[in-house]
Each structure stands twice: as structure tokens, then as C-alpha cells.
Amino acid sequence: MENCNKHFMILNKKILILYDSIEYFNSYIEEYGFTCQPSFRRLNFFGKVFRKILFKVNYPKHIWFDSWKNKLSNFDAVIFFSTNSIEALEFIKNKNPNIKIIIWYWNPVNKSLLKPEKVKYKLYEFWTFDLTDSINYKLNINTNFYFKNILLPKNDLIYDVIFVGQDKGRAEKLNEYNCILNSLKLSTFFHIVDDYKHRFSARKVKPISYDVYLKKLAQSKVIFDYLQDGQTGLSLRPFESIFFNKKLITNNSNIKNYDFYRKENIFILNHDDISMLKSFVDSDYLELPKNIIDNYDFQSWSNRFFDIE
């Protein structure tokens, strides 16, 4: 905690992280000294159904916001993930007009309901992980992040290659590559979650929790990464790769431009020789210098929003 305390003494600000995605990360974010909460209070299944019904009849959404809504005067800034509720963004602006709001796009802008041109406000700062979006929408650029305080469980290796993620229009290609890997006598665990349109279909593949995913990841040698159309920035998987010393197979050719790229660790589809894929999987991981990994830790990521080295 010494490094975290030093970080916040330098920063001298109280920061709210409003984050609705992987719940598993919340406690790790708070270990760095932030307050991290979801937009809406967490409810059981029946509570969510009841709330959704009230939303459809235009019942005020702010009634359901988490406890942060009563504490906004305590914060100097909020880091607002673009996948959060837009109503929460408006509530923050109206409740505390002096608070600095950093809007963080960790998905492509064209996949987000929160378009930069529709939410212009003098205290907003727009940041993205995607270089193309940074240029096209004139947004600030930051890397994505992971957590050095997350540790993998100790499990025996069972799988050569793992992919867990949502379809996002890439299921056909993912299944094709899964077959290629299997034809090379490589064992795989591919869990492709149906998109929202299949929510009430018997064909639906349900998500698995992140802690279960980490157990599967601990049993795997290599992470498979396949970007959705229109994305050029890094997904979460390359960061899981470098923090957990796992090799990576990816279709993101831009990864060659990052300081952590090593051909021994990263196989680039449609660039590297596919006939060498099995030998790549079977070879050892080349460990990276600590300073490179630390650059992508959550603390370094948050520092960059406030120009702290």
C-alpha cells in the first residue's frame, strides 16, 4: 500500500471510478485508494426485473443509482466508463457542476451509445484506448490497463489455447480458428457468448464469471485474441497475457508497435507463418522487464489522466 499512498499524496484528489463492467475488478480498484461503484445499485434477479419495468414507464432512474449519488460533493473528479448509464453522467453534471469528468472509452466509439459530439460540456475530458478513435474524434489517448494485484490460482495446465468472450460478430471466425487449432492437435477452451439478440433463445451461451475465467486461464498456455470489426486498440487480453506470462495469438497487427511486443510471446494472425503456430504454442514464454509491465498497471493508467509520472 506504500506506493498507493504515495500516489494519492501526489495526486491530492478524491476520485470516483464509476464502473459497470467486470464486478470482479471493483475491489482491486479500491485497493489503489479510489472509490469504485457501479452506476446502479446491485439487485437480485427479481429486483432487476422490477426496476426494468419502472424504467419502461419513465420512473426516475436516479432513484436506483448507487450510494455515490449522495456523495458527489466529496469528489474532485470522476472517471466515467463510456459503457455506463448516460443518465448517470447527466446526474453528475447537474449535481456537482464543478466536478471534473473524465469519460473513458475502452470500447470503440462507434460501438458506444455515448458519442463525444452529443455530450459536449466544458468539464468533460474524452479519453480512449484506440489510436484510430483518438484521431477521428480528437480524443486524448491512454493505454488500457490491468492489475498487478490480481494473481492467478495455481492450476495444472489442461488447455493449449483459451478464448472467452462475447460474439460481437466474430463467432464464425473464432470457430474457424478453433478448428484450425484442433487440427494442429492443440487442445482449446473456446467459450463464445451469444450477443444480446439471442438473450431469450435456447441457443444462448451464458457468460462465465471472471473468477471462473481466471481458473480456466490458469489451466491454459496461450490466450486467443480476436478484435471486433472497427477496433484497432488493444483489448483486455494482451494485458492478461503480459501480467500472467501467457502467450498471445491475435489478429491485431498494431500490437507490433507496443513496447511489450516480443515475437516469442505474440503470434499475429495473417502476418506470422501459420505453419509455425504449433511450435509457437509449444515454446516457452519470454519474460518481460518489470518496468514495461508496470506501465500498464491500473495505477499508471490513472496517473496519466492527471499528468503524474
Q: Judge whether residue 104 has pLDDT over 50.
A: yes
Q: Which of 6-15, 57-66, 198-207, 270-279 has the least mean pLDDT?
A: 6-15
Which pLDDT score is estimated for 273? 94
- Return the axis-axis angle of helices 2-11 and 298-305, rounded to nearest 10°: 10
Q: Judge whether residue 121 has pLDDT over 70.
A: no
pLDDT per residue as tens digits for the range 185-232: 999 999 999 876 544 454 578 889 999 999 999 999 999 999 877 677
| DSSP 8-state class, residue 283 | S
Report which residue type is found at 233.
G
- pLDDT more than 90, % of the chain: 63
Which pLDDT score is estimated for 5? 47
**Domains in the chain: ranges and CATH:** 2-142 (3.40.50), 159-294 (3.40.50)
Mean pLDDT over 58-85 rounds to 92
> b or e along 159-192 (b: 16 or more beta carbons within 10 Å of the residue's beta carbon)?
bbbbbbbebbebbeebeebbeebeeeebebbbeb
Which pLDDT score is estimated for 10? 37
Which pLDDT score is estimated for 216? 97
Split at pLDDT 50, 70, 90, the class of 13 is low
Which pLDDT score is estimated for 122? 64
Mean pLDDT over 96-124 rounds to 83
Note the pTM of the prediction, 2 decimals. 0.86
Split at pLDDT 50, 70, 90, the class of 249 is very high
Which pLDDT score is estimated for 27? 94
Mean pLDDT over 173-185 rounds to 95
Q: Judge whether residue 151 has pLDDT over 70.
A: yes
Phi, psi at 15, each rounded to 5°: -115, 135
Split at pLDDT 50, 70, 90, the class of 286 is very high
Report which residue type is found at 75.
F
